[in-house]
Amino acid sequence: MYTRGQVRGFLHLYIGEEAIAVGAISQLLPHDYIVTHYRDHGHALARGLDPNRAMAELFGRIDGLSKGKGGSMHLFDTEKGFIGGHAIVGGQFPLAAGLALSHQYRKSDGVCVVFFGDGSTNQGTYHEVMNLAAVWKLPILFFLENNLYGMGSRFDRVRAGGEDFYPGAATYGIDHAAVVDGMDVMAVQEATKLALESIRSGNGPAFIEAKTFRFQGHSMADPVKYRDRSETETWEARDPLNTFPRDLLDQNLFTEAELAEIRSSVDAEVAAAVKFAEDSPFPPDEELFTDIYA
């Protein structure tokens, strides 16, 4: 759709990282909040946001989640507790702290999960909010999707602190910090379950680092000149979209026919979403001036 010109602007694909969103978000309660970065399609779909309206948003149409005003990087659905899609790297951390604070203030058992990439850990807001969350014991799960690259810069070109980020959490007083294989959906699910249990029992924030890789470039504009194809191939061999179904077959939990049926239903869902988006009109002119003030 991007190459056909239906989707414009920046588009950051989540391909390769799906096991994280699916595994982590499966463990959330309906009243939990999710805040994420601009590579947000995976989280949105995993949280059950309407794929039709998500696609319409990418198309810039009035039936999009944000009436076409946010675009790919800014998906929102308050009914699902999905508070963006944020496109300033690291800008989402303070927002997540405030959402977590609202749960604490109201003595709710709700949690806020904030997804972020390795690139954002070099922003001040990352450090500020880790500290604030620990001092106030906020119910927040810091979920690092470490895909090794911040745009075109591999982590070790912009960080001297080594390949693991999760040990740093302890320096802020965040004791529950774990690392998990981000290509393994079941492992992500289990790690998230444990972290949420810790948070909901009042221990304050937790931290998970998932090791992962984006198979595509940073955005559609990225020719990927900064890394060897072989590195991508190594990770592609562990694509959760292949390995997980294989595991299910090996364990006799699903049959080939059942998996094929799931795949074709997904294809149909995508086709329907594209159709929905194509049929939705562009926003009327007056929408330029609405939603600025409540």
Q: What is the contact surface with other proteins in residues (CB under 8 A)?
A: 33, 35, 64-70, 74, 76-78, 83-86, 88, 91, 93-103, 105, 112, 124-125, 128-129, 131-132, 135-136, 290-294
Q: How far apart are CB 289 and other proteins at their closest, in Å?
A: 9
Closer to other proteins by CB, 33 or 213: give it. 33
Closer to other proteins by CB, 19 or 83: give it. 83
Would you say 35 and 116 are in contact if contact means Cβ atoms under 8 Å apart?
no
Q: How far apart are CB 159 and other proteins at their closest, in Å?
A: 20
Closer to other proteins by CB, 71 or 150: give it. 71
Phi/psi for 33 (5° steps) reads -100, 150
User: How many Cβ atoms sit within 10 Å of the Cβ of residue 117?
Assistant: 25
Would you say 20 and 145 are in contact if contact means Cβ atoms under 8 Å apart?
yes
Would you say 93 and 116 are in contact if contact means Cβ atoms under 8 Å apart?
yes
Alpha helical stretches, state H, 29-91: 41-46, 51-58
Would you say 205 and 140 are in contact if contact means Cβ atoms under 8 Å apart?
yes
Closer to other proteins by CB, 62 or 187: give it. 62
Closer to other proteins by CB, 94 or 152: give it. 94
Closer to other proteins by CB, 70 or 182: give it. 70
| Rounded-to-integer distance, Cα 138 and Cα 38, Å | 24
Q: How far apart are CB 290 and other proteins at their closest, in Å?
A: 7
Q: How far apart are CB 112 and other proteins at their closest, in Å?
A: 8
Q: How far apart are CB 130 and other proteins at their closest, in Å?
A: 9
| Rounded-to-integer distance, Cα 261 and Cα 72, Å | 29
Residues 6+ apart with CB under 8 A from 140: 96, 97, 100, 111, 112, 113, 114, 133, 199, 205
Residues 6+ apart with CB under 8 A from 278: 6, 59
Q: How far apart are CB 83 and other proteins at their closest, in Å?
A: 6
